[in-house]
Structure formats: structure tokens, C-alpha cells
Amino acid sequence: MEIVSETKSFGGVQGVYAHPSKSTGTPMRFSVFRPPQAEKGPAPVLYYLSGLTCSEDNFTTKAGAQRYAAEHGIVVVAPDTSPRGLDLPGEHESWDFGSGAGFYVDATEPPWADHYRMYSYVTEELPEIIESSFPVDSTRMGIFGHSMGGHGALTAALRLPDRYRSVSAFAPIVAPTRCPWGEKAFSGYLGADRERWKEHDACELVRKSGFAAPILIDQGEADGFLEEQLKPQLFQEACDEVGTKLQLRMQPGYDHSYYFIASFMGDHFAHHAKILREA
């Protein structure tokens, strides 16, 4: 693992790191904030998954998370959103597929299957690196994200509830099998079998097993993607069917940007901190 940068922040250290990935077969970068409490021993860890077009840098520099991570004593990890440097055919042709748009699935279709394995990277390889290199308590792990990353956070938590104790999301894609972003990504990465797509659809997954802890979602009412792509009411309906506690907060006037995310970041840290303290 290579240290790209380390900077003092809110009494802790904000770092960016690089390593050769076994999952993607490419170099990958991620950021880690270590709060001052981590100097005394292992701390809870929270993974953040970013949205379309983003890298690890967007969350690290725009979300204002360091202040709240230091307040609650939580290590925060933010990976990139796709492999980089491959130049596969068509990889850079559109902003919502390919580079910067891995959708946190393990692709099964060529030419993506050998490298676009972001589910394995985020849920297996990266946690192994974090647990061996940083002072984290892996029994107190949470996950959250934005848009495509909100989809990734919800599906990871619902598929691996024994690993992720807490989950939240900002403007997540909750039903990728029923929106244009998801249909484009899943048909390209996973092929034409729509039954396979359901394994990465939060609405389908929560109906199967629910989730033990309450889930928090913030959604801006002025989000231009709300009606066509995000559809949070579908996840509310699915949670209600199985008795999973969901706090869906519709925020008047807020859009899809990091201004929206930063406005409610403190509430999300408080949500995770309460559940992880009790874990």
C-alpha cells in the first residue's frame, strides 16, 4: 500500500492511499480518515460509497465528514467508484456507465467481467486491507453512500447483515431494476437475465430478509433525478411490507449535490454512531 497523502484534520489524519487490486486487476485508490480516538485503540469503521462520475476525492473534500468522524470517534473509508486506466471499448463514452460508474456489482459480461468487480472490492478486498493496516474494530462496521453509492450501501448491508451493523443513504437508487440508470448498468454488466439483477436491488433484497437496525435515508425534494431514477417511495413500501424500520426524510428545496449531502452529514454520523456503540 502506498501513501499518496496524509493531512492533519480535526485532531485526526485524513489520508489517501493506493494499492494494486486483486479484484479489479488495476491500481485502486481510497481515502481513510483516522479520528484522534483511534490513537488509543481500534475504533468503529464506516464505509462511504460515492455516486456516478465520482472518485474517492469527492466525498473526502466536499462532504465535511471529518468533523463528525472526529466527534464520534469513527474511522471513515471512501473507495473509488470503478477501476481506472483500462480503456476498455466504450468505457468512457457515457457518464453513467463504465469509468466512474461501477455500480458496486461484480460484472459477468465481457469485457467488464475481468475488472469491474466493485462488489467484491468494496465488501471483501478493501475491508481486509483496512483491517490489517488501520486501527478499526471490524465488529462495529457501518456503510452509507450517495445515489449510485446509496444503492451500493443498501445492497451490501442487506446482503451482508452480519457484517454491516448500520446503513444509511443520501438520494439512493433504491430500485435499479426499475429505472434507466440501473437498467443500463445491469444490462451491460450483468447481461439480459433480469432475475440476476434482483440480487442487487435494495427493494427486492429488503423484502427477503429485512434489516435489524433502523435505516436512514435523506432525499432532496428538488432533486432532478427523484421521479425517474431514485423513487424512494418504492423502498418505503418494501420496508413497510416486512417491518423494517426506515426513516425516509424528504428535504424541501434540496437537490442532488454535495451541498445537500454536507447539510445532513452530521445526522448520518449520529445515526451510525448510536447503532455502532450498541453493537
Is it the case that residue 279 has pLDDT exceeding 90? no
**What local confidence, expressed as pLDDT, does residue 149 receive?**
98
Q: Are 83 and 111 in contact (CB under 8 A)?
A: no
Query: Given 106, 223, 271, 272, which residue is catalytic?
Result: 223
Please tell me the distance from the alpha carbon of residue 31 to that of residue 237, in angstroms, as a whole number: 35
Give the DSSP letter of residue 79. Answer: E
pTM of the model: 0.97
Please tell me the distance from the alpha carbon of residue 233 to that of residue 187, in angstroms, as a whole number: 24
Is 92 a known active-site residue? no
Report which secondary-structure segment, H or E, holds 75.
Answer: strand 75-79
Question: For the segment 152-164, what is each residue's pLDDT rounded down to a tens digit?
Answer: 999 999 999 999 9
Mean pLDDT of the chain: 97
Percentage of the chain beyond pLDDT 70 is: 100
Please tell me the distance from the alpha carbon of residue 84 to that of residue 253, in angstroms, as a whole number: 35
**What local confidence, expressed as pLDDT, does residue 120 receive?**
98
**What local confidence, expressed as pLDDT, does residue 27 receive?**
98
Q: Are 45 and 273 in contact (CB under 8 A)?
A: no
Is 256 a known active-site residue? yes
Question: For the segment 208-228, what is each residue's pLDDT rounded down to a tens digit?
Answer: 999 999 999 999 999 999 999
Q: Which residue type sits at 191? A: G
Average pLDDT score over residue span 107-133? 98
Average pLDDT score over residue span 247-252? 98
Of the candidates 273, 257, 267, the one whose C-alpha atom is nearest the C-alpha of residue 62 is 257
**What local confidence, expressed as pLDDT, does residue 68 receive?**
98
Of the candidates 217, 212, 140, 112, the one whose C-alpha atom is nearest the C-alpha of residue 171 is 217
Instruction: Residue 89: count other Cβ atoms within 10 Å of its Cβ.
Output: 10
Percentage of the chain beyond pLDDT 90 is: 99
Average pLDDT score over residue span 121-140? 98
Q: Which three cell numbers stand for residue 57?
A: 476525492
Average pLDDT score over residue span 232-261? 98
Q: How far is CA 141 from CA 46, 76, 106, 123, in A?
A: 6, 10, 22, 11
Describe the crossing of helices 65-72 and 258-278 by its angle, rounded to 10 degrees.
Answer: 10
**What local confidence, expressed as pLDDT, does residue 253 receive?**
98
Is 187 a known active-site residue? no
* Position 144 confidence tier, pLDDT thresholds 50, 70, 90: very high
Q: Which three cell numbers stand for residue 67?
A: 468533523
Is it the case that residue 194 has pLDDT exceeding 90? yes
Of the candidates 250, 245, 210, the one whose C-alpha atom is nearest the C-alpha of residue 227 is 250
**What local confidence, expressed as pLDDT, does residue 210 receive?**
94
Alpha helices by DSSP H, listed for the chain, are: 56-62, 65-72, 118-120, 126-133, 148-159, 180-190, 194-197, 202-209, 232-242, 258-278
Q: Which residue type sits at 227? A: E
Query: Given 115, 151, 200, 256, which residue is catalytic?
Result: 256
Q: Are 100 and 83 in contact (CB under 8 A)?
A: no
Question: For the segment 69-112, what is each residue's pLDDT rounded down to a tens digit?
Answer: 999 999 999 999 999 999 999 999 999 999 999 999 999 999 99
**What local confidence, expressed as pLDDT, does residue 278 receive?**
86
Calculated CA dihedral for residues 150, 156, 162, 164, nearest 10 degrees: -40
| 63 HSE (CA, 13 A, CB side) | 31
Query: Given 21, 99, 147, 168, which residue is catalytic?
Result: 147
Please tell me the distance from the alpha carbon of residue 274 to that of residue 269, in angstroms, as a whole number: 9
